[in-house]
Amino acid sequence: MTLNLLKDESTNIIKSAEIFHLSPRLLASAIYSDRRMNYNLLDHTLDKAIARKGRDNSIGIAQIRVSTAKWVEQQIHNPKSLYYLGEEFESIIPDSLSRDEIIDTLSDSRQNLLYAAAYTVMIMQRWKKAGFDISDRPEIVATLYNIGPIKKDGSERFPNANPRANEYGYVALDFYQSDLLKDIF
């Protein structure tokens, strides 16, 4: 099911990755991992309804949490943020006026993938600025995509020279190194 979805959405994945100057295979690997490890058919059916009730659940193809989407919006529009990507990207991700608007935006696959690409690049750029280029480390990128760059207590997961992957990262690495969908990504 996940592979079929990636195939079906390959054009949108590639476009989103290109907009943010990101490897489409790296983006697809993070999505693949999150969907394989953190998704079931019931999620798809209830995502929007549960989110509208106030739960911070993941929505859409790239399994973006409502809080993550809001965080991406805040960072992409804040030139003082360590995660700011530059003025050229501000118009790509909207500054939503409400939680419902974020939920509706994430429900659209093209928009969902733009958030995923922006989020991924924000993480990678932050690490690179700190002196640690993780662009060739799909297992670390996917781990950070999964756990987020910000801890629950609001503190940052500081970039470091010895990052460790979690199980999501290893699933992403296996996909990234495999022949699965190599003809597409």
pLDDT at 39: 67
pLDDT at 122: 98
Structure token digits, residue 184? 């597409």
Residues 6+ apart with CB under 8 A from 65: 56, 57, 58, 59
pLDDT at 125: 98
Q: How far is Cα of residue 147 from the mean position of the Cα atoms in its chain?
A: 11
Distance in angstroms (rounded) separating the CA atoms of residues 65 and 157: 18
pLDDT at 157: 95
pLDDT tens digit at each of 185 positions of the chain: 899 999 999 999 999 999 999 999 999 999 999 999 876 665 666 888 889 999 998 999 999 999 999 999 999 999 999 999 999 999 999 999 999 999 999 999 999 999 999 999 999 999 999 999 999 999 999 999 999 999 999 999 999 999 999 999 999 999 999 999 999 99
pTM surpassing 0.75?
A: yes
pLDDT at 41: 61
What Å distances lie between residue 164 and 124, 126, 167, 170, CA to CA?
15, 17, 10, 10
Residues 6+ apart with CB under 8 A from 2: 32, 35, 36, 39
Distance in angstroms (rounded) separating the CA atoms of residues 154 and 66: 16
Place of tokens 């010895």: 162
pLDDT at 42: 58
For residues 77 and 95, the answer to whether their CB atoms sit within 8 Å is: yes
For residues 120 and 27, the answer to whether their CB atoms sit within 8 Å is: yes
Q: How far is Cα of residue 129 from the mean position of the Cα atoms in its chain?
A: 19
pLDDT at 40: 64
Structure token digits, residue 46? 């209830």
